[in-house]
Amino acid sequence: MPQIIISRDELKQRVKDGAHLIEVLPAKEFARAHLPDAINIPLAKLSVKTIAGLDKKNATIVHCYDYQ
């Protein structure tokens, strides 16, 4: 799957338009800080099952902050 980089403003607009924003941070890190309107599905748990409840008509954006 291709990696697409979008601007902060475009991200905000896509979420406003109904896109799902998933942050794949571990739960403790997500609890400390995360993007507004994001849902948390830790990377280790990300699977077809964990996203099954998302509306497939809307885009899904996965965000991972890697500070290393």
- For residue 68, being part of any structural domain is answered with no
Query: Is residue 42 domain-resident?
Result: yes
* Number of domains within the chain: 1
Within a domain: 31: yes
Assess contact for 37 and 55: CB atoms under 8 A.
no
**Burial (Cβ within 10 Å: 0-12, 13-18, ≥19) of residue 25:** buried
**Per the domain annotation, does 1 fall within a domain?**
no
Does 3 reside within a domain? no
pTM of the model: 0.82
| DSSP category for residue 43 | G
Band of residue 65 on the pLDDT scale cut at 50, 70, 90: confident
Who contacts 50 (Cβ-Cβ below 8 Å, separation ≥6)?
Answer: 41
For 49, which DSSP code? T
The residue range of the domain holding 28 is 8-63
Tokens linked to 6: 């979008």
**pLDDT digit string, tens, across residues 35-61:** 999 999 999 999 999 999 999 999 999
What's 37's domain CATH number? Answer: 3.40.250.10
